[in-house]
Amino acid sequence: MSIFDTLKKYPWMVSLLEKADRKIKAILLKNAASKNKNFFPEGDHKADVKNLANCMLCPNMCRFDCGSLQAAQTETMSPAYKSRIGYFLSIGKIDPEKEENKEFVDLIYKCSNEETCKAWCPFEFSVVSLLETVRDDLNEKGLMPEYCKKQIEKLKKTDTIEEINIFKTHEDTGIKNIETSGEDEVYYYIGCQSMKLPEMIKGYITILDKTGVKYSTNLDTKTCCGAPAFSIRDLGVARDLAEKNKNLIEKTGAKIIVSDCPGCVETLTRKYEMIGINMNVKIIHIVKYISELIEKKKIKLEVPVVKDKMKVTIHDPCHLARNQNDTTSLRTLCNMISGIDLVEPIHNKQNTHCCGWSGTLHWADKEIALKEASNRIKELKDTGANVFLSACPLCELGLEHGVPESEKQDIQILDISELLSKCF
């Protein structure tokens, strides 16, 4: 893109240039025209060096809304600073192999994948994606941090992100397992972290039973979608898990895959496509699926769940609201339940703030992740609600970490399924 194309695309830059004197204009135009020579050195890099440089040269509006930065309260956590460090690591200005530079390597993993940076960026960059390209270079040099290696070992050992195959705990938690006959209409794709919230899963199973559709859960043969491996950027492990999932999905015969985890939906679609694996089926979040069934009058609410008025606020999962552009399904379902007083947090819908528990941040720096969760809980509490409703197991687990021990009896963090299942 030439400087003139850039000015056409971003007219706000024109007004800034118009206010500058002739000398400043000349300097700006000269530097912009020579940026390829000055900032993009030749070399064999996996990292997206060009856009890392573009990001680090930006006015950095994203710094005002990055949840990890707000939690850490240090400029080194800003998206553009991370891009700058990623750039220097990639082109060799900072040697990532030197022990004294380990903190710079760690910084590349201190990201919760929330992508508020993308919402603010005039160029629509995702610093999440840019940092992933830097991790590609680091991993190729054998510099994957130990806390990431531990996650990869779990994925290899158990096919999940836990020390054991968490899907096989279904008998202990009373979750119904339905193995496929190969003739399913729907495959209910349960996430790894969902297994820690059995009431959520039971709620969705109750609703699916009411629909009358033929579905399966396949918990004895299921594996992780591979999202952690994609974030860490071990694409070999990610591909192995993707192939296992593709085979299982094809075995069910289902043409619709519904998941209770927005991160799983994101992985099964966009991330699989990035490595050349196309599932050739419809893959959506289960709240969207239920919302569509209600809209088509294939199922209907029977009994309101709330007897005493309940003040509820919604925590929009980042993946669902921003990456899948769905901010309506959760609210549509919530508004169908009689007796709910729905109040919105200041940061909602596509401007939602992260629970702190996604990406690689909670492995790289748990304290910052906890603070980010605590910050989000404060925003939700500021609505005056004491019921926080969401539709993502990782968010619900992350938010739980942010609730002070003294307030755990007063605040409920619920999945929408836990209310909906009582209404059919």
The residue ranking higher by pLDDT, 301 or 363, is: 363
- Does pLDDT of 40 surpass 90? no
How is the beta sheet containing 256-259 ordered, strand by strand?
A: 215-216, 186-189, 256-259, 282-285
DSSP-assigned letters across all residues of 120-150 = H-TT---HHHHHHHHHHHHHHTT---HHHHH
Angle between helices 146-158 and 235-252 (to 10 degrees): 30
Instruction: Categorize the per-residue pLDDT at 130 as very low, low, confident or very high, splitting at 50, 70 and 90.
Output: very high
Q: Average pLDDT of the chain?
A: 91
Domains of the chain are 34-143 (1.10.1060), 147-295 (3.40.50), 310-420 (3.40.50)
Could you give the angle at the alpha carbon of 282 between the alpha carbons of 280 and 286, nearest 5°? 145
Name beta bridge partners: 259: 189, 285
The pLDDT score that the predictor gives to residue 143 is 97
- For residue 219, what are its two tokens? 């918990």
SS3 291: helix
Q: Which residue has the higher pLDDT, 68 or 30?
A: 68
User: What are the pLDDT digits (tens) for 256-271?
Assistant: 999 999 999 999 999 9
Cα–Cα separations (whole angstroms), residue 221 to 12, 61, 284:
54, 46, 21
DSSP state of 390: E
pLDDT for 2 beyond 70: no
Q: How far is CA 376 from the centre of its chain?
A: 15
Split at pLDDT 50, 70, 90, the class of 61 is confident
Contact between residue 116 and residue 67 where contact means Cβ atoms under 8 Å apart: yes
* pLDDT confidence of residue 6: 56
What pLDDT is attached to residue 44?
81
* pLDDT of 102: 97
Residue 279: count of CB within 10 angstroms of its CB:
16
Q: From residue 234, how far is each of 34, 275, 365 by CA, in Å?
A: 36, 12, 20
Q: pLDDT higher for 19 or 298?
A: 298
Whole-number Å distance between alpha carbons of 239 and 224: 12
pLDDT (0 to 100) of residue 365: 97
- How far is 100 from 319, CA to CA, in rounded Å? 35
- Per residue in 325-371, pLDDT tens? 999 999 999 988 888 999 999 999 999 999 999 999 999 999 999 99
| Candidate from 117-131, 194-208, 246-260 with smallest mean pLDDT | 117-131
Percent of the chain exceeding pLDDT 70 equals 91
pLDDT-derived band of residue 376, with 50, 70 and 90 as boundaries? Answer: very high
Give 300's pLDDT tier (boundaries 50, 70, 90): confident
What pLDDT was estimated at residue 305? 61
pTM: 0.87
pLDDT in tens, 218-256: 999 999 999 999 999 999 999 999 999 999 999 999 999
- Please work out, in degrees rounded to the nearest 5, the angle formed at the alpha carbon of residue 383 by the alpha carbons of 381 and 389: 70
Answer yes or no: is pLDDT of 38 > 70.
no
Pair 420, 338: CB distance under 8 Å: no
Tokens of 85: 């460090």
Percent of the chain scoring above 90 in pLDDT: 75
Q: Is the pLDDT of residue 12 over 60?
A: no
Band (170; pLDDT cuts 50, 70, 90): very high
Amino acid code (one letter) for 243: E
Which residue did the predictor score with more confidence, 306 or 170? Answer: 170
Q: Residue 7 pLDDT > 60, yes or no?
A: no
What pLDDT, on a 0 to 100 scale, did the predictor assign at position 43? Answer: 75
* Structure-token pair, residue 299: 């199922």
Residue-level length of the chain:
424
CA 412 to CA 409: how far, in whole Å? Answer: 8
DSSP secondary structure letter of residue 310: E
| pLDDT (0 to 100) of residue 123 | 75
Q: How confident is the model at residue 13, as a pLDDT?
A: 58
